[in-house]
Structures are given as structure tokens and as C-alpha cells.
Structure 1
Amino acid sequence: MRCKLPNTWWRINWCNMASGTPVIRQINWLAIALHLCIFVALVYFFQFLQVGAPSLMAIATYLVLAYFLRFFLAKYHRYGMMFLKQNAFENAIPYFENSYEFFQRHAWLDKFRAVFLLSSSRISYKEMALVNIAYCYSQLGDGTQAKVYYQRALKEFPDSGIAQAGLNMLRSSENGNN
């Protein structure tokens, strides 16, 4: 089941998680075009090498490359997401903090994630880390810490719709409790 929010590039995917924890995927369509160019370049490369079935070799190379880049370079994010999907929010927080620190130190990697991580995500890993930390705190019942991280995300990423929505939800739940 897919739910569309007002912006068509913003989707919540509920299907791939047994826990029912929402995962938001914002797609950068320009990155998709870049990935298509990388794939075409791989096809031409394998044709140049006169390898049999250059398209299949290009697909295999692209998938293996994408997997290993994300496996090694975004490992903290991957572990955080694993714990998040298991509703182990307390365990996820340190991994998202490590992810934020890693991409803070390697800002160029996050900025050019479409090339170096073959990621088509519209939002940066740093923004994802901050809103995921906030979400984890909100699920643990620590609204104060959740607010701190949503506000931090908005300070660093003023156009963050996810952080704004999370902050609005926290505020509305506070107003409902009063």
C-alpha cells in the first residue's frame, strides 16, 4: 500500500516493514537521470571490452557497486535503519548520531551522494540522521529531546518538510494533552 502526500516526490512506504514504522523516501529525479547515464556508460564500457551481454554486465556492476558503496560508506545509517525497523529506537539513536558525525566530517560525500553512494535520495544523510534521531526520541516518549533534534534539523535544513511535520505533530499532541 502506498500513500501519497501532497508533493508527488514525497512518499511514505509502509509495505516493506513488518513493524509498521513509516519510512519516508524523497526521490531526487536528477540523480535518477545521473544513474541512468552511469548505467549507459557501463554498457558502452563493456561493449568496448567486447564482453558478452554488456547490458547484463552493466546491470550487475551497477548493483554490486551501489550495494558495496552503501554497505561501507553508509553503514551507520544502515544499522540505525535496521534498529528503527525493529522498533529498537534506543539502539538506533547512537547509529544515527554516528551517521550524522560521519557525514559531517565527509560533507562532500553527502553533498554528492548521487555519484559516490549512487543514492537517489532527495534529502541528505545528515538530515535523515537528525529527523530519525528525533523520531526515535518521540517513540521513546521523550518529546523534549525529539523537539531539540527536529529544531536542529530545521536550523540546518530550513526546507525540511519532515522535520517541520514532526515538530507540528509533537506540538499538536502537546496541545491535545493540555
Structure 2
Amino acid sequence: MASEIPTIRQTAWISVIPQFLFMGLLLLVFHQISPKNAVLFGAITYLSISYILRSFIPKSHRKGLSLFKKNQFLEGINSFQESYNFFKQNEYLDKYRYLLLLSSSKISYREMALNNIAFAYGQIGDGKKAKEYYERLLTEFPNNSIAKAAIKMINSAEKGNQ
């Protein structure tokens, strides 16, 4: 069943290059060990490492996404706040997510967290808090087009209510 919550995935295609290099390195290592099974072992190793990194490091982020899929937005806010705090403390993980988390996301986990918190407030009917978080998002990440569009929509809705 498809989720009713809109999902935006932006890929930084340049980040795929280091991932291919990492895969190539794994293939080279396994080719030295067992040339016959190098591709199989390399692929399994890459997928395993990728799964482990993406499952355990951004666990609060994944929990927030899971809660959103269940329409539990209020609970999801706490998970995304935890995710934001974690990646704020460990900015190097977020900055080098292409290499350290094997993530090709164009936007950082902190940016995603703030965006998701703002979206959640909108979903629970707290437009004022949603606008605050979208503005905070633009303060930290001035090029975020989602926040710009959301603020325009909130402003036009506020004008329509007056």
C-alpha cells in the first residue's frame, strides 16, 4: 500500500561517484581473495554495510519516518528533533553522509528533520509552529525550496482568513 504522505527524494548524483569507487575497492579486494565470487561477495558486503549504516546511525530519523507513515505526526516530531540534535552534534556525519552513511541524499539529515517537523506541525493543525520551523529551516538552509513554497502557502492562507 502506498503512503498517503508526500515524499520528496532529491539525489545528489555527484555523490554516487565515491560510492562506485567504494564498490570498486570492495570488488578489487574480493577479486584478490576469490576471483570467481568477487562480484557476489562485493555486492553482499556493500549492501550489508549500507544497510547497517543507514539503519543504526540515523535511527531517530527512520523512526520519525515510520511514525509519519502511521499518521502519528506529534510523536514523529520528537524523533525528528532527536535526529536534528544528533546530526547537529555530529555535523561531520551529515556533511560527509555520501561516504560515511553511503547516502546520496541532496539535503542533509538536519535539513530533512527541520522540514519534517514543520510539515508535522502543519498536519496537526498548528500553522504558527509550522511557519516558525519553515522560517528556521530557511535561516539555516536558505536555498530550501520546500520551505519557501510552504511559507508562501501559509501566508496566502493567513491572508485568506483575514
Residues 93-144 of structure 1: CA deviation (Å, up to 9, x unaligned): 0000000000000000000000111000000000000000000000000000
Identity %: 44
Residue 92 (1) aligns with residue 105 (2): no
**Take 1:172 and 1:35, find their aligned partners in 2: how far apart are those partners?**
43
Letter in 1 for 2:18: L
The equivalent of 1:118 in structure 2 is 102
**Take 1:52 and 1:159, find their aligned partners in 2: how far apart are those partners?**
48
Runs of 4 or more above 3 Å deviation = none
**Take 1:61 and 1:99, find their aligned partners in 2: how far apart are those partners?**
27
Residue 165 (1) aligns with residue 155 (2): no
How far apart are 1:177 and its partner, in Å? 2.9
More contact order relative to length (CA 8 Å, sep ≥ 6) = 2
Residue 60 (1) aligns with residue 44 (2): yes
**Root mean square deviation, CA, Å:** 1.2
Q: Which segment drifts farther, 97-106 or 56-65?
A: 56-65
Residue 75 (1) aligns with residue 59 (2): yes
How far apart are 1:51 and its partner, in Å? 5.3
The equivalent of 2:118 in structure 1 is 134
Higher strand share: 1
Q: Which segment drifts farther, 21-30 or 47-56?
A: 47-56
Segments of 5+ residues of structure 1 without an aligned counterpart are 1-16
**Take 2:66 and 2:58, find their aligned partners in 1: how far apart are those partners?**
12
Q: TM-score, normalised by structure 1?
A: 0.87
Match of 2:11 among 23, 27, 36: 27
How far apart are 1:170 and its partner, in Å? 1.6
**Take 2:133 and 2:110, find their aligned partners in 1: how far apart are those partners?**
12
Q: TM-score, normalised by structure 2?
A: 0.95
Residues 152-173 of structure 1: CA deviation (Å, up to 9, x unaligned): 0100000111211222222222
Q: Give the 3-state SS of the residue equivalent to 2:19 in structure 1.
A: helix
Is contact 1:19–1:87 with CA below 8 Å preserved after alignment? no
How far apart are 1:75 and its partner, in Å? 0.1
Pairs aligned (count): 162
Is contact 1:83–1:91 with CA below 8 Å preserved after alignment? yes
Segments of 5+ residues of structure 2 without an aligned counterpart are none
Residues 34-55 of structure 1: CA deviation (Å, up to 9, x unaligned): 2111111111110012254211
Higher helix share: 2
**Take 1:94 and 1:52, find their aligned partners in 2: how far apart are those partners?**
48
